[in-house]
Amino acid sequence: MDTEVSDVKYISFGEYRSLLAEADPKYVPYDVNKQYGLLFDIITKRYKENNEERSQVLLKQLRRYAPVSLTAELTGLNDADMEALVLLIKAAMIMDEIFYLQVWYSNPVLREWLKEHADVSQLDSLKSCLDENEAFLTTADSAIKLLPEATKPITGWKGVQYRVAFPMIKPSGANFYPPDMDKMAQSSKLGLFAYNHIFDGTHLSAGSTCDLYSIAYSQEYHSFLTRASDLLHKAGDLVSSPSLKRLLHSKADAFLSNDYYDSDIAWMELDSMLDVTIGPYETYEDSLFGYKIDYHTKLQSDPPD
C-alpha cells in the first residue's frame, strides 16, 4: 500500500531538509534542489503569512460545530453501582487507547506530538483541524498534496519512502497486519486465523522461514488490559446485580486469558439495569479481511418504568 509508511518520525522541516541535503542514508534521496525542494519553500512561506488571520479563519470553521452535553438517566442505581460506573468509565478510556493503536500504529505518537506543539500559538492548536488544503505550519503533509509529483519513487531505493506522516488513505488492514501486507499474496498463508490476534512480520527469529505470525491481543495490549482487568474486578465487587457481577469478573479474566467464551455467555445472560458492553467486538476497522475485532465500550442505563 503505497500511501502508508512503516515508520514515522516527527522532526522540523528545516532539520529534514538538512538531512536530505547531506544525503543522510537513512532518508530517501530526494534532491532538495529540484521539485522536492519546493515543498520546503511552501512551508517556509506559511511561516511568513499572517497567523492571526489564519487562526480566525479556522475558528470560524470550527464554530460551525455546536457542542452538545449528553446526560444519562441513572435513577435506580445505588451508591455502590454509581461507584462501579466510575470504574467502568475509566476502563472504557483504556479501550479508547487500544482502539487508537488498532486503527493506525502511529496514532498515539501523532497525538502526543500535536499536544506538545499545541501551546506554541493559537494557530498551532488549530492547524491540524480543518486547514487540510494548505501546507501545515510544521509538517510537509499537505504541502505534498500540493506537489504530488515531488514524491515519486526513487529507482533502486530500498528504504522507507516519505509519503505523508499521516496516511492519505486509511490503511485497509488498520494495525492488525504488517503495513505492507498484500491481501492476495498472504491470504493463503493465514488459514483460519484467530479473530483476537494481530499479525506481525517484524520480529523474526534467526533462521525462521515464516514471515508472518500471530500475537494474542492479551499479549500485544497487555499493559492496557492488565489495568482494565483490575478496574473490572473492582467494579464487579461493587455492583448489586448478580448477572452483571458475573459479566464483569469473567470479562476481566478474558482480558488476560484471551478466551472470551465465558464472558460472552455472561453478556448474553445479563439481566441488569446497567448494560455493559466492553472489549473486542466489531470488525469494521479491518477492511482488508473483515475479520479482526477492535475494542470499544458501550455503557447503557435502563431505568425501571
195-228 per-position pLDDT tens digit: 566 655 443 334 445 566 778 899 999 999 999 9
**Contact (CB, 8 A) for 162 and 5:** yes
- In 3D, which of 154, 159, 121 has the Cα closest to residue 137? 121
Query: What pTM was computed for the model?
Result: 0.68
**Series of mean pLDDT values for 10-residue runs along the chain (305 residues):** 44 79 80 78 70 75 83 89 96 94 81 69 54 42 54 50 52 78 55 55 43 82 97 97 97 96 95 93 86 91 75
**Cα(35)–Cα(70) distance, rounded to whole angstroms?**
50
**Domain range summary for the chain, segments of one domain joined by +:** 13-67+107-151, 76-104+171-305
255-285 per-position pLDDT tens digit: 999 999 999 999 999 999 999 999 998 888 8
Q: Which fold has domain 76-104+171-305?
A: Fructose-1,6-Bisphosphatase; Chain A, domain 1 (3.30.540)
Give 42-65 as a DSSP string. HHHHHHHS-HHHHHHHHHHHHTTS
- In 3D, which of 168, 160, 169, 143 has the Cα closest to residue 35? 143
Buried/exposed code over 121-157 (b: 16+ C-beta within 10 A; e: otherwise):
ebbbbbbbebbeebbbbbbbbbbbeebeebbeeeeee
